[in-house]
Amino acid sequence: MVRTARFTGAVGAIIWLVGTPVVAIAAVPFPSAAEYLYMGILAVLLGLTLAPVVLAIGEPMPPPKRMVVRLSGLAVCIALILSGVVLLAAVQGWLGEAVAHQTPSAAITVFIALFVWIGLASYALRGPTTIERWTFRLGLISGASCVVPVLISIVMFYFAKDFVFTNATVLPILLFDLLLWASLPAWLTAVVFGMWPEHQPGEA
């Protein structure tokens, strides 16, 4: 399982690096069926490639904590796959119009859940070794890069409805987007390196 997880983790990082720009480009200038198609494919592939990683991480942790981290991560992976399949079905017109309108929001919610899980799992995985410290830091950065903009958007929606986006807001948004794009592959890289025997406690 560990060898499979190392391979699929690397593949998942590449899928995210390539897939997210494709989804973003397809959304210009307005959301489209192509955007939802690529988003569905990204969700399915990411769920499939992350599942072995989720089932292999946390070996040094106590069994109860390890089980919670793995089962919660597996639930997120399954949700990614299902949301992607539903989104693809909606794009093909196989679902009712009311359901089809809700599928993009559901898929985005699952992506947010993934980053929340990464942050929480990284906190649970923290340890004394260098690779464990980097996994912890990159996981928190990855989780925050998604959660913080979402929280800001919610606050602005309810308390700053008159806010107007200007050229001054472009740079912060771009920086958050770049951080979101780069942080997941960076975290996966740290996790994959941490699975090598020389990085396991007592096996160096």
Query: Residue 200: what pLDDT?
Result: 59
Largest interatomic CA distance in the chain: 58
User: Each residue of 8-18: pLDDT tens digit?
Assistant: 999 999 999 99
**What is the distance between the alpha carbons of residues 105 and 96, in angstroms, rounded to a whole number?**
16
- pLDDT classification of 201: cutoffs 50, 70, 90: low
pLDDT of residue 1: 76
- Of 8, 4, 9, 2, nearest to 190 by C-alpha is 9
Query: What is the rounded distance in angstroms from the CA atom of residue 160 to the CA atom of residue 135?
Result: 36
> Residues of 67-79 as b/e, b for ≥16 C-beta within 10 angstroms?
eebbebbeebbeb
Q: Would you kindly state where each structural domain of the chain is located, as residue ranges? A: 2-199
Nearest to 21 by CA among 157, 186, 180, 200: 180
For residue 202, what pLDDT is reported? 47
Q: What is the pLDDT of residue 204?
A: 40
Report if pTM > 0.75: yes
pLDDT in tens, 83-124: 999 999 988 888 877 777 788 889 999 999 999 999 999 998
- Which string of DSSP letters, residue by residue, matches the chain? -HHHHHHHHHHHHHHHHHHHHHHHHHTSSS--HHHHHHHHHHHHHHHHHHHHHHHHS-TTS-HHHHHHHHHHHHHHHHHHHHHHHHHHHHHTT-S-HHHHHHHHHHHHHHHHHHHHHHHHHHHHH--SSHHHHHHHHHHHHHHHHHHHHHHHHHHHHHH-TT----HHHHHHHHHHHHHHHHHHHHHHHHHHHHTSGGGSTTT-
- Taking alpha carbons only, the member of 92, 98, 137, 96 closest to residue 119 is 137
